[in-house]
Structure 1
């Protein structure tokens, strides 16, 4: 490493108009190597504050990352690094391109911040497990190749394939296999793929419980394959995705300085919820877009480059935010054009139309979430929701599996969060360490694979996802009542559980019916706007393709949400829901017993290793 007065930190401190910074610079020149580490750690918050005083520029960001690399070099010279090792685990099903992007972001994060340094050519304190749940043989082959590729590039990767997963379950006793079937499933089923991420994460936890013996201090980091270690900023020049957070550095500090067992981040970019609960506000935003467009000259320079940015935490993307304690704001969100300037309104219209059907894969062109800076340690607050694709836990956290996995319901993170909160209380924290969420692949506008979404040439069927969302909401808001009554420590009677689930479902039914009525109103308004013969998009042939894309979007809205759609029949028909509600009740009754046996299983694994 360079001498103190040649470092990026020294240059930063000397160029500040700040007496405290100048004193730190003087200490850099006249101190021991051990003291240097402390000076860097003291200076980094000042550096961050300067970085975020305005919109971060690339030069400042490069310096910020360089200063962390200087710190890591100092720690490496001390020959003793007692910080945590991180095991990142990624359940993946038929997503080779998105997995490649996810692994690339991990590698880039390691290169830019160099947490833990290297041993030989390999990053020393970061390793990755890729757990494959794929059906397609070619995708399995590609996933294996990616593991080899990133191993060669210095990222220690383990491939945890389906045969290894089966063996993990075969290692259980007969009693464990029987009573934990509702947690990890069965090893002897013929089709051992597409088990779902909750069940996969629970199987992975059994493996993690074995791996933890290799480390003095270890943290486990749960990721989704469609996420990256970047944040999304909304800037004067459009959206930017940047590596601005040293996740491992701050998580090590959080778990070292607090008694946290589980820490969850959030996501920026694409919303973390299903299009089934975003369609009303998106229809409103499209209506807003067309009402503005129809008044504009299609050949005039684009008017859609100065839209207001939505706040990160107001659940603006959700049709029913009041369910989660947010105020329901009856307003539209303006579309912000992503085309490079110069171009005209007509070209923006065509580009917007291309994005419409990506909505059914989870993108939201008008309501993305953006990063807002707050120091990670200062941002810590009690949590109530686990983000399954961005949560971190220590060995104690292994006790908390993803509940009700065989049901494959959406909202399993919020449900798990309510259970974890009831037990861990202040040991369950939320931190401002979001990850970038990318639902789709850039050149197709589609996900590589999403469960329960059926796709034809133009038709996209969300009925399976809608069903999982609806009963996921029933489970979540039932769970809020149960935990207030002392569940799961207090075992509830069948009659009590059944009654609460039934009452919750009736309330949820009314919420969804009200939303459905509003949805149909918005759809009709949109159709009328599009069919306006006076609108310029109906008078020029260069907009025919865009009109067809709008028509395809409305057809998919009708397929999924019309009065005769499966989704609406599900809401209003008791017979359609009876079997599913019975599953929900039984799963809730079984959970306390599963929890006890799960903890016993982890303990027996550990005891058997000694």
Structure 2
């Protein structure tokens, strides 16, 4: 941007919003600033005032854009205002804003990782946080953003693809580092022996070669050690205290899901790095968690009931149509405030449990019939078993100020940011590989950090499935072939993860984890939670069986048009397969429910959970002693990561 173009976009803002009170007030502030700007030094003297009025103009533009279904012209103005602001901030001698280390654990998901990293490059290109420096090839290299990929993959071809994706991201201007199994093994091999036994539940085995598919929680803890022992020192030096560590999942993107008219779209809208830096700069917080939009962040095993309700409503609505009728599933529904409407047991989390069936929002665009909609819906229904919830996609709900936060209780492990001091808060009980690791950590952080652990309205886009066929790449706990999808392992991890979560929440009320509680008290609490949740799971199973039978009735009665023609045979077959998979995974003879019943009777799983909760004290001490031990990797170590 040439200096002659300075303030061009701000003037466009004034023209577009001419006569608007808020815009006129910003213009008055701007003219006041101009009086002191007669040179580069004068501009520097007014930087804080200019920054404040640009932020106000941007907030106003973003609200107007959101109110007008994210109008493209207003989005273009929003992005240009951010770039203009970055140019103005570059006049300052030193940019003291924070560096971001974006850390992404991945396991055999090259396609999703590619989407994730491409969205990171897009975020940098559109908003240009921290500016850039052009390399010898003329490519902008973004000054304050680095990406670290922690690879837990097993398949050699996927490992090769992931390395290639890292190289492509590097070539696009984001410094990108790859940490594979060899690098992880070398790091773990340097841990003093007195810590290895106590930390095995956090970081897994420390042998060479490092095993693959250790799980996302163990991968995150290993990444914590990499950050502490090498990356922060090697890459940022004395600036390390001004760094923020940003953890993502590989199925997240720097985008939000919105509705324009009757269609859903994914767009880049939030300048994540700018506003996260602002939150940490203006408040005494240590950890900020965002949420997600798009696919819900929970297992299919705890949202099947809500989906069955919605399928019944879908067929009830279809029964009142003709097959060639124009699609009627494009109502312009507003995003909901509740973030748990998809959850079968939302009441457990303090949400209103009065769930109502939701109308399916058709994903097709252009002219199409209800028959076309049924065909597409039937394919998306099978994607449910990989984490897609076709009827309860979470949409972005804009608020006026991205720096507004509220006290948090859950860490969304696919979207959380913390200072280097936050490395002391490891992912607990990682070796158990249970679901709900983020909520469990969140309950501990809420007890320990109180108002220094907050939630922001900066969600990332969550995409559980591939768009081409609505299935997934690798997903731990799900076994699939051409005729069956088995969720029993994920179902098992979900149930015991729920027991762990609500036991920890109950114990936190007694002072845990800072007050050391006895094993008998912990075990008693865990038993009570096990019994309570098992009763809820059995009640839910009865509801699932009843609702599945209701859907099957819609597939067997010839009075419904979809059962009478060859054009809908594929759709009916898909929904029939869906019902069979529901019966296999959640019905009276499901392997998942039988396994949990056996584990409850046998008792060892609950004993393991009780012991893990009790041993947190020792693990916590060992972890923090290790961090204080000045453990460092040699400069020529492969754990410095592969820079592409």
User: What range describes the TM-score normalised by the shorter chain of this pair?
Assistant: over 0.9
Structure 2 distance, partners of 1:513, 1:307, is: 36
Given that 1:88 and 1:220 are in contact with CA atoms closer than 8 Å, whether structure 2 keeps it comes out as yes
Residues 106 and 378 from structure 1, CA distance in 2 versus in 1: closer, same or farther, beyond 3 angstroms? closer
Q: Residue 20 in 1 paired to residue 40 in 2?
A: no
Structure 2 distance, partners of 1:457, 1:15, is: 56
| Deviations 1:230-283 (CA, angstroms, capped at 9, x unpaired) | 111122141121111110011111111111000000000000000000111101
Counterpart of 2:225 in structure 1 is 206
Counterpart of 2:43 in structure 1 is 33
Residues 608 and 196 from structure 1, CA distance in 2 versus in 1: closer, same or farther, beyond 3 angstroms? closer
Structure 1 distance, partners of 2:60, 2:601, is: 55
Given that 2:436 and 2:494 are in contact with CA atoms closer than 8 Å, whether structure 1 keeps it comes out as yes
Given that 1:94 and 1:133 are in contact with CA atoms closer than 8 Å, whether structure 2 keeps it comes out as yes
Counterpart of 1:548 in structure 2 is 573
Unmatched 5+ residue regions in structure 1?
Answer: none
1:28 to partner: Cα distance: 5.7
Q: Residue 42 in 1 paired to residue 67 in 2?
A: no
SS of 2:412's partner is: coil
1:186 to partner: Cα distance: 1.5
Counterpart of 1:303 in structure 2 is 328
Residue 85 (structure 1) aligned to one of 93, 96, 99: 99
Given that 2:202 and 2:430 are in contact with CA atoms closer than 8 Å, whether structure 1 keeps it comes out as yes
Counterpart of 2:357 in structure 1 is 332
Q: Residue 132 in 1 paired to residue 142 in 2?
A: no
Residues 509 and 286 from structure 1, CA distance in 2 versus in 1: closer, same or farther, beyond 3 angstroms? same
1:46 to partner: Cα distance: 3.2
- Greater CA deviation, 117-126 or 288-297? 117-126
Q: Residue 73 in 1 paired to residue 87 in 2?
A: yes
Alignment of 1:156-175 (within 5 A): 156-175=175-194
- Greater CA deviation, 460-469 or 484-493? 484-493
1:7 to partner: Cα distance: 1.6
Given that 1:275 and 1:361 are in contact with CA atoms closer than 8 Å, whether structure 2 keeps it comes out as yes
Given that 1:5 and 1:28 are in contact with CA atoms closer than 8 Å, whether structure 2 keeps it comes out as no
SS of 2:629's partner is: helix
Alignment of 1:366-445 (within 5 A): 366-445=391-470
With normalisation by structure 1, the TM-score equals 0.97
Structure 1 distance, partners of 2:175, 2:632, is: 27
Structure 2 distance, partners of 1:249, 1:28, is: 23
1:581 to partner: Cα distance: 1.2
Structure 2 distance, partners of 1:485, 1:165, is: 38
1:310 to partner: Cα distance: 4.7
SS of 2:344's partner is: coil
| Deviations 1:49-84 (CA, angstroms, capped at 9, x unpaired) | 233232221111111111111111222232310110
Given that 1:382 and 1:429 are in contact with CA atoms closer than 8 Å, whether structure 2 keeps it comes out as yes
SS of 1:417's partner is: helix
Given that 1:307 and 1:334 are in contact with CA atoms closer than 8 Å, whether structure 2 keeps it comes out as no
What is the Cα-based RMSD across aligned positions, in Å?
A: 1.8
Residues 207 and 569 from structure 1, CA distance in 2 versus in 1: closer, same or farther, beyond 3 angstroms? same
Counterpart of 2:133 in structure 1 is 119
SS of 2:603's partner is: helix
Structure 1 distance, partners of 2:218, 2:621, is: 18
Given that 1:375 and 1:432 are in contact with CA atoms closer than 8 Å, whether structure 2 keeps it comes out as no
Structure 2 distance, partners of 1:581, 1:190, is: 32
| Deviations 1:102-153 (CA, angstroms, capped at 9, x unpaired) | 0000000000010111133311100000000000000001111111111111
Given that 2:151 and 2:180 are in contact with CA atoms closer than 8 Å, whether structure 1 keeps it comes out as yes
Given that 1:312 and 1:371 are in contact with CA atoms closer than 8 Å, whether structure 2 keeps it comes out as no
Q: Residue 148 in 1 paired to residue 159 in 2?
A: no
Counterpart of 1:256 in structure 2 is 281
Counterpart of 1:513 in structure 2 is 538
- Greater CA deviation, 579-588 or 95-104? 579-588
Given that 2:58 and 2:81 are in contact with CA atoms closer than 8 Å, whether structure 1 keeps it comes out as no
Structure 2 distance, partners of 1:100, 1:291, is: 40
Given that 2:182 and 2:209 are in contact with CA atoms closer than 8 Å, whether structure 1 keeps it comes out as no
Structure 2 distance, partners of 1:354, 1:607, is: 51
SS of 2:244's partner is: strand
Q: Residue 192 in 1 paired to residue 211 in 2?
A: yes
SS of 1:3's partner is: helix
Counterpart of 1:243 in structure 2 is 268
Residues 164 and 574 from structure 1, CA distance in 2 versus in 1: closer, same or farther, beyond 3 angstroms? closer
Structure 1 distance, partners of 2:460, 2:341, is: 18
Structure 2 distance, partners of 1:364, 1:379, is: 29
Residue 246 (structure 2) aligned to one of 204, 209, 221: 221
Residues 247 and 492 from structure 1, CA distance in 2 versus in 1: closer, same or farther, beyond 3 angstroms? same
Structure 2 distance, partners of 1:430, 1:478, is: 23
1:2 to partner: Cα distance: 3.6
Structure 2 distance, partners of 1:262, 1:338, is: 36
Given that 2:201 and 2:429 are in contact with CA atoms closer than 8 Å, whether structure 1 keeps it comes out as yes
SS of 1:222's partner is: strand
| Deviations 1:84-108 (CA, angstroms, capped at 9, x unpaired) | 0000000000001100000000000
Structure 1 distance, partners of 2:378, 2:34, is: 59
With normalisation by structure 2, the TM-score equals 0.92
- Greater CA deviation, 37-46 or 382-391? 37-46
Structure 2 distance, partners of 1:577, 1:28, is: 73
Counterpart of 2:511 in structure 1 is 486
Unmatched 5+ residue regions in structure 2?
Answer: 135-139, 636-644
- Greater CA deviation, 443-452 or 231-240? 231-240
1:403 to partner: Cα distance: 0.4
Given that 1:353 and 1:550 are in contact with CA atoms closer than 8 Å, whether structure 2 keeps it comes out as yes
1:458 to partner: Cα distance: 2.5
Counterpart of 2:73 in structure 1 is 59
Residues 531 and 137 from structure 1, CA distance in 2 versus in 1: closer, same or farther, beyond 3 angstroms? same
Given that 1:250 and 1:376 are in contact with CA atoms closer than 8 Å, whether structure 2 keeps it comes out as no
- How many residue pairs end up in the alignment? 610
SS of 1:239's partner is: strand
